[in-house]
């Protein structure tokens, strides 16, 4: 692995958002309706099955006052750790490093 290891299990931003809406006692159905988002998309984000996009992060910020930039940093770290666990990608990266070592 590269030098970007984080040393912990990645947290999908949906986990943080799910905890927040549960703490506030808001139903996913109501939040999805208020945000103009389908319940299925909202539920997929909250359960880590769908990535958070910049637009959806901004929508959550508008609805819950959770900073979009913090959510996007979580998503980036989650994506990086998922990529680091991808054996096919790691093999390709090793090949690239080997080929470019002489440059």
Can you give the residue ranges of every domain in the chain? 13-100
Helix (H/G/I), strand (E/B), else coil: 102:
coil
CATH superfamily of 13-100: lambda repressor-like DNA-binding domains (1.10.260.40)
pTM assigned to the model: 0.82
Do 42 and 28 contact (CB within 8 A), yes or no? yes
Note down pLDDT in tens along the chain; length 103 residues: 444 555 567 899 999 999 999 999 999 999 999 999 999 999 999 999 999 999 999 999 999 999 999 999 999 999 999 999 999 999 999 999 999 987 7
| Angle, CA 41 vertex, CA 63 and CA 38 arms, to 5° | 70
Residue 28 pLDDT: 97
Q: What is the pLDDT of residue 81?
A: 92
pLDDT at 7 (0 to 100): 58
Helix and strand tally (H, E) in the chain? 6, 0
Distance CA 10, CA 82 (A): 8
What integer pLDDT is reported at residue 2 of this predicted model?
44
d(CA 79, CA 41) in angstroms, rounded, equals: 19
- Cβ pair 17, 71 in contact under 8 A: yes
Q: Please give the pLDDT value at position 3.
A: 45
């Amino acid at each position: 692995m590269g030098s970007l290891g984080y040393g912990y299990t990645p947290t999908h931003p949906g986990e943080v958002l799910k905890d927040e809406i549960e703490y506030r006692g808001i139903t996913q159905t109501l939040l999805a309706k208020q945000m103009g988002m389908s319940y299925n998309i909202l539920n997929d984000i909250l359960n880590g099955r769908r990535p958070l996009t910049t637009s959806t992060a901004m929508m959550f910020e508008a609805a819950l006052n959770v900073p979009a930039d913090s959510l996007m940093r979580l998503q980036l770290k989650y994506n990086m750790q998922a990529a680091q666990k991808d054996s096919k990608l790691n093999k390709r990266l090793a090949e690239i490093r080997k080929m470019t070592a002489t440059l």
